[in-house]
C-alpha cells in the first residue's frame, strides 16, 4: 500500500471526517501521489504535505514551484534523458520512467530484456505523452508546504490542525519498491527511521490520545476500538482497512465492495482528465444496482443513499463515466420526478457537479424517465440534507422551493435542449467564470 495509492473508499471516508470536523488545517503524512491531499485541498482547506519518496518531492516541486537538485547516476538513463526537451515536469517524469522501468531492469530473462529494450526505445514518446497528460490539470490543487522527512516527526511537530496518514503496511515498503530509483538518482536524501507496522498500535494509540489525528491501517487493533471510525472491506483476497480518529465522532462508517456490481466494463473518467470543448457527452439507462457500488466510492458517508430508486442514468465523457443519477417514482408527484441521488467522480474539471445538473434537465433524460416510469413529467425535484440556507451545488440550476429543519427542497423544469446544447452552455459559462476569477485575482495583486 506504500506506492501512494489510497483506495477511493478510504478517500471518501477521510473526506467525510474532514467535512464533519469543521477544521480547515490538515497535515498529510505519507502523501504518496497526493490523492488525499488533492481531495482535502479542494475542500478549501490548508494542506501541509509530507513524504520520504523522491517522486512525492518532485510532485510537490511542481505544485509549489520549487526545485530539487537531482543527478542521474545511471548511464543508460542519463543517455535517454539527455534527449528529452526541458519542461517543468522533466525531473518528475524521469523518476516516473525509472519506476516503470524498474520492473524489467534486472533483465534476468527474455521477457524482462524485451520489455526493457522496448521501454528504452520508446522513451521519447513516453515523455511526450506524459508531459501532455500532466499538463491537463494534474496539478490543479494547492498545498501550503511540503516536508521531506519522517511522517511521525512531521505529525508530532505540526502547528495545530489535524493529522491524516496512511503509513506503510509492511516494513521497508518504500525501500523495496523504489530500490532502482534510489540507485539511479543522487539527491539530498531525507533523514527518517524505517517504519515498522508492528509498532503501529502503540504509536497510533499515543498520537490519537495526545492530539487530533486520523490513521488508516490494515490491522484491527484491539486497544484502539474506541477510536475506530471506519471499516473498508475491499473484497476476497484483500485485507480490510480500518480508520482510527481522535476527532469527535460518534459513528463508525462501513464500506463494502459489492463484487457483483463491480463486475462491469464501465471505465471511469480519471482524476487527471479534463473535459474540453470537443468532449462528446453521452447518456445511457442503467439499473440502480449498477450505480450502488459507485455511490459508496463517491457519495458522502453522512447520508445513506445505498438503497432506493427505480432506475438510474450514467453520463459519459468520450466513453468514460463521470456522472450518475437515480430516480424514484414513489417519491414523485404528478408534475415532478424525484431525483433520489446524483453524484460525479472526483475530477480536475471545475464544476463537474454543475454539469451533471445541466444534463439532467435535457430532453434526452426526460424521454428516458417517461419511458421507464410511463409518465411525462414537467421537471425534477430533490432533497438536500443540510443546515445551510442554500446549496451551492444546486443554486442557479435548480430553484429552492422550501426550507425545512435540516433539509432543503429543490426543483427544476426540463429544458427543450439536447445534451450537446446543455454541455456547450455549461462549458461556455464555466470558461467565462474562470476567466473572470483569474482577472479579479490579477487585479487584486
- Looking up residue 178, the CATH number of its domain turns out to be 3.40.50
Q: What is the DSSP string of 113-179?
A: HHHHHHHHHTHHHHHHHHHHHHTTTTT----SEEEES-HHHHHHT--SSEEEE---SSTTHHHHHTH
User: Beta partners for 389?
Assistant: none
SS3 content of the chain, % helix, strand, coil (to 5): 40, 20, 40
Residue range 187-215, pLDDT digits in tens: 999 988 888 888 999 999 999 999 999 99
Q: What are the φ and ψ backbone dihedral angles of 75, each rounded to 5 degrees?
A: -65, -40
Q: Which pLDDT does position 225 carry in this prediction?
A: 93
* 251 and 270 share one domain: no
User: Beta partners for 361?
Assistant: none
* 233 and 272 share one domain: no
Query: Please, are residues 221 and 201 in contact by the beta-carbon 8 Å criterion?
Result: yes
* 244 and 267 share one domain: no
Q: Which pLDDT does position 194 carry in this prediction?
A: 83
> Cα 418 to chain center, whole Å?
30
Asked if residue 445 belongs to a domain, the reply is no
Q: Which pLDDT does position 261 carry in this prediction?
A: 41
Residue range 384-402, pLDDT digits in tens: 988 899 999 999 999 999 9
Asked if residue 35 belongs to a domain, the reply is yes
Asked if residue 442 belongs to a domain, the reply is no
* 337 and 224 share one domain: no
* 369 and 314 share one domain: yes
Residue 395, CA distances (Å) to 168, 189, 300, 384 in order: 42, 49, 19, 11
* 268 and 247 share one domain: no
DSSP state of 307: S
Return all residues near 125 (Cβ < 8 A) that are at least 6 apart. none
Pairing mode, strands 228-233 and 379-384: unpaired
Residue range 106-120, pLDDT digits in tens: 898 888 888 899 899
Asked if residue 315 belongs to a domain, the reply is yes
Residue 283 CA to residue 321 CA, distance in Å, equals: 9
* 94 and 186 share one domain: yes
Question: Which structural domain range is residue 164 located in?
Answer: 8-255
Domain termination residue (choose one: 226, 255, 284): 255
Residue 45: exposed, middle, or buried by beta-carbon count in 10 A (0-12, 13-18, 19+)?
buried
Strand (E) or helix (H) holding 282: strand 281-286
Asked if residue 219 belongs to a domain, the reply is yes
Q: What is the mean pLDDT of residues 295-312?
A: 62
Return all residues near 437 (Cβ < 8 A) that are at least 6 apart. none
Cβ count within 10 A of residue 425: 14
- Looking up residue 350, the CATH number of its domain turns out to be 3.40.630.30
379: helix, strand or coil: strand
> What is the band of 20 on the pLDDT scale with cuts at 50, 70, 90?
confident
Q: Which residue has the cell 474506541?
A: 226
Query: Please, are residues 226 and 248 in contact by the beta-carbon 8 Å criterion?
Result: no
pLDDT beyond 70 at 297? no
Return all residues near 295 (Cβ < 8 A) that are at least 6 apart. 305, 306, 324, 341, 343
* 238 and 282 share one domain: no
User: Beta partners for 232?
Assistant: 241, 255
* 313 and 218 share one domain: no
Residue range 152-194, pLDDT digits in tens: 999 999 999 999 999 988 775 555 667 889 999 999 999 888 8
Asked if residue 2 belongs to a domain, the reply is no
Query: Please, are residues 415 and 422 in contact by the beta-carbon 8 Å criterion?
Result: yes
Whole-model pTM: value is 0.62
* 219 and 367 share one domain: no
pLDDT beyond 80 at 30? yes
Domain termination residue (choose one: 255, 284, 314): 255
* 249 and 268 share one domain: no
Residue 437 CA to residue 172 CA, distance in Å, equals: 46
| Cα-based angle 73, 168, 154 (whole degrees, multiple of 5) | 85
> What is the band of 308 on the pLDDT scale with cuts at 50, 70, 90?
low
* 152 and 242 share one domain: yes
Q: Which pLDDT does position 24 carry in this prediction?
A: 94
Residue 252 CA to residue 234 CA, distance in Å, equals: 17
Residue 57 CA to residue 39 CA, distance in Å, equals: 19
Tally of domains in the chain: 2
> What is the band of 250 on the pLDDT scale with cuts at 50, 70, 90?
low
Q: Where are the beta strands (DSSP E) in 304-398?
A: 311-317, 320-328, 336-344, 379-384
Asked if residue 93 belongs to a domain, the reply is yes
Asked if residue 3 belongs to a domain, the reply is no
Domain termination residue (choose one: 196, 223, 255): 255
Amino acid at each position: 500500500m506504500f506506492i501512494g495509492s489510497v483506495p477511493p473508499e478510504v478517500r471518501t471516508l477521510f473526506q467525510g471526517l474532514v467535512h464533519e470536523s469543521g477544521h480547515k488545517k490538515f497535515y498529510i503524512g505519507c502523501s504518496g501521489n497526493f490523492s488525499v491531499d488533492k481531495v482535502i485541498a479542494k475542500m478549501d482547506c490548508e494542506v501541509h504535505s509530507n513524504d520520504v519518496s523522491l517522486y512525492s518531492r518532485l510532485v510537490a516541486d511542481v505544485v509549489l514551484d520549487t526545485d530539487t537538485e537531482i543527478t542521474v547516476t545511471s548511464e543508460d538513463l542519463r543517455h535517454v534523458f539527455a534527449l528529452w526537451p526541458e519542461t517543468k515536469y522533466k525531473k518528475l517524469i524521469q523518476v516516473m520512467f525509472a519506476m516503470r522501468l524498474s520492473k524489467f531492469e534486472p533483465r534476468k530473462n527474455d521477457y524482462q530484456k524485451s520489455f526493457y529494450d522496448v521501454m528504452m526505445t520508446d522513451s521519447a514518446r513516453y515523455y511526450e505523452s506524459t508531459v501532455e497528460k500532466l499538463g491537463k490539470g494534474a496539478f490543479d490543487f494547492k498545498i501550503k508546504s511540503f516536508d521531506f522527512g519522517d511522517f511521525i516527526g512531521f505529525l508530532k511537530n505540526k502547528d495545530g490542525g489535524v493529522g491524516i496518514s496512511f503509513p506503510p503496511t509492511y516494513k521497508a515498503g518504500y525501500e523495496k519498491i523504489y530500490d532502482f530509483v534510489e540507485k539511479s538518482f543522487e539527491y539530498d536524501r531525507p533523514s527518517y527511521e524505517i517504519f515498522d507496522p508492528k509498532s503501529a498500535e502503540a504509536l497510533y494509540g499515543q498520537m490519537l490520545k495526545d492530539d487530533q489525528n486520523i490513521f488508516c491501517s490494515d490491522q484491527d487493533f484491539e486497544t484502539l476500538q474506541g477510536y475506530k471510525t471506519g471499516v473498508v472491506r475491499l473484497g476476497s483476497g484483500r485485507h480490510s482497512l480500518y480508520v482510527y480518529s481522535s476527532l469527535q465522532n460518534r459513528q463508525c462508517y462501513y464500506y463494502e465492495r459489492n463484487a457483483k456490481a463491480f463486475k462491469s466494463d464501465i471505465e471511469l473518467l480519471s482524476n487527471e482528465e479534463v473535459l474540453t470543448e470537443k468532449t462528446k457527452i453521452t447518456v445511457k439507462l442503467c439499473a440502480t444496482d449498477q450505480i450502488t457500488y459507485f455511490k459508496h466510492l463517491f457519495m458522502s458517508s453522512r447520508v445513506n443513499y445505498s438503497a432506493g430508486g427505480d432506475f438510474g442514468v450514467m453520463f459519459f465523457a468520450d466513453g468514460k463515466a463521470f456522472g450518475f443519477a437515480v430516480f424514484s417514482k414513489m417519491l414523485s408527484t404528478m408534475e415532478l420526478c424525484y431525483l433520489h441521488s446524483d453524484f460525479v467522480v472526483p475530477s480536475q474539471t471545475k464544476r463537474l457537479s454543475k454539469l451533471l445538473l445541466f444534463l439532467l434537465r435535457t430532453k434526452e433524460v426526460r424521454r428516458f424517465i417517461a419511458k421507464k416510469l410511463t409518465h411525462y413529467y414537467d421537471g425534477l425535484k430533490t432533497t438536500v440534507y443540510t443546515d445551510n440556507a442554500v446549496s451551492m451545488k444546486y443554486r442557479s440550476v435548480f430553484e429552492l422551493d422550501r426550507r425545512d429543519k435540516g433539509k432543503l427542497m429543490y426543483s427544476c423544469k426540463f429544458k427543450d435542449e439536447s445534451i450537446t446544447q446543455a454541455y456547450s452552455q455549461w462549458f461556455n459559462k464555466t470558461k467565462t467564470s474562470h476567466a473572470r476569477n483569474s482577472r479579479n485575482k490579477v487585479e487584486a495583486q
